[in-house]
């Protein structure tokens, strides 16, 4: 049974969503695995992943097309659809155009959540949010957010947003605490902004972590379930795992059923981090 986190206005968003990066191509369209991609998206929704996360950049827009083909067979009001405007389309006119393109490819007349995919230092945030605020006013977007923003960028974004930001989507997992160290998580928790963790199992590397494996065995769980549960048990944190296999989709949902003891959580908190860059640009 899916669990939900509250948004700032009392709305609900699933604590585990389905990412779509790589379905339909990388930065450009790849049609060779469309049957597989369509099946993955459909299976995820049927299993209970009602939050589907995509972006105009994914597959050069083709990923949105694939998502659109699937969600046409479901009740739109039962789904929470997120997309993102790429960082090259951040001026006022480009944002409006980008949103219309996403809506057309997705076959919907509104997005539940629309994000700035990455910061663009060449275009003032006030210009970007002038368009984003208008889209909310027009009813084409329900919630606004950002992705890959550091604390200072997040604060400036909120200052230009007419409504509260719903989320900052960032890489966050047991091997990457950069958005804890740089103050983003604390800021989000203080300001009632969700932190959406993408790559929650570190592209699969966490399943081989000795501490994660040890705890998984103790709870008759899988390492992926432990890693995801560690995230979603934190206030204001939701996760976006991505898998193309049904068994892994089911496995990830099993993270909802875990109840880790404080001692195990402490062990996970103390996992030695790999030598990576702590602070995002």
Give tens-digit pLDDT for 104-135. 999 999 999 999 999 999 999 999 999 999 99
Task: Give the SS3 label for residue 49.
Answer: coil
The two three-digit tokens of residue 85, written as one number = 């405007």
Fold of the domain built from segment(s) 4-207+230-258: TIM Barrel (3.20.20)
Alpha-helix residue ranges (DSSP H) falling in the chain: 34-47, 62-71, 92-106, 125-137, 151-160, 178-181, 184-190, 210-218, 223-232, 246-253, 262-269
- What confidence score (pLDDT) does residue 274 get? 72
pLDDT digits (tens, 9 = 90+) for 172-228: 999 999 999 999 999 999 999 999 999 999 999 999 999 999 999 999 999 999 999
pLDDT digits (tens, 9 = 90+) for 246-266: 999 999 999 999 999 999 999
Q: Read off the pLDDT band of 278 (50, 70, 90).
A: very low
pLDDT digits (tens, 9 = 90+) for 12-59: 999 999 999 999 999 999 999 999 999 999 999 999 999 999 999 999
Q: What is the DSSP letter of 87?
A: T
Give the CA angle between residues 51, 18, 184 to the nearest 5°: 85
pTM for this predicted structure: 0.95
Q: What are phi and psi of 21, to 5 degrees?
A: -60, 130
- What confidence score (pLDDT) does residue 88 get? 78
The two three-digit tokens of residue 94, written as one number = 């480009």
Q: What average pLDDT does this structure show over 61-79?
A: 98
For residue 58, indicate whether it is catalytic.
yes
The two three-digit tokens of residue 30, written as one number = 């790849």
Residue from 49, 58, 143, 179 carrying the catalytic annotation: 58
**What's the rounded Cα separation, in Å, for the pair 258 and 238?**
15
Taking 70 as the threshold, does the pLDDT of residue 279 lie above it?
A: no
């Amino acid at each position: 049974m899916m669990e939900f986190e509250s948004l700032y206005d009392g709305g609900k968003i699933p604590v585990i969503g389905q990412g779509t990066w790589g379905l339909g191509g990388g930065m450009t369209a790849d049609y060779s695995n469309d049957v597989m991609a369509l099946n993955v998206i459909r299976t995820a929704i049927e299993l209970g992943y009602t939050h589907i996360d995509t972006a105009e950049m994914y597959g050069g827009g083709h990923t949105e097309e694939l998502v659109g083909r699937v969600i046409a067979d479901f009740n739109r009001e039962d789904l929470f659809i997120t997309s993102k405007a790429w960082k090259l389309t951040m001026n006022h006119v480009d944002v409006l155009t980008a949103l219309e393109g996403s809506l057309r490819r997705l076959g919907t007349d509104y997005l539940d959540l629309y994000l700035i995919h990455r910061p663009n230092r060449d275009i003032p945030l006030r210009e970007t949010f002038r368009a984003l605020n208008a889209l909310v006013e027009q009813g084409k977007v329900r919630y606004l957010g950002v992705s890959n923003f550091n604390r200072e960028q997040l604060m400036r974004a909120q200052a230009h947003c007419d409504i509260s930001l719903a989320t900052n989507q960032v890489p966050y997992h047991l091997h990457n605490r950069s958005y804890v160290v740089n103050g983003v998580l604390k800021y989000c928790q203080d300001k009632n902004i969700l932190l959406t963790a993408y790559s929650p199992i570190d592209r699969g590397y966490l399943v081989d972590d000795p501490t994660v494996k040890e705890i998984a065995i103790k709870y008759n769980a899988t390492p992926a379930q432990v890693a995801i549960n560690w995230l979603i048990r934190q206030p204001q944190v939701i996760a976006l795992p991505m898998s193309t296999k049904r068994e892994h989709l089911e496995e990830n949902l099993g993270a909802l059923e875990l109840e880790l003891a404080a001692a195990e959580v402490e062990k996970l908190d103390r996992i030695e981090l790999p030598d990576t860059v702590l602070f995002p640009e």
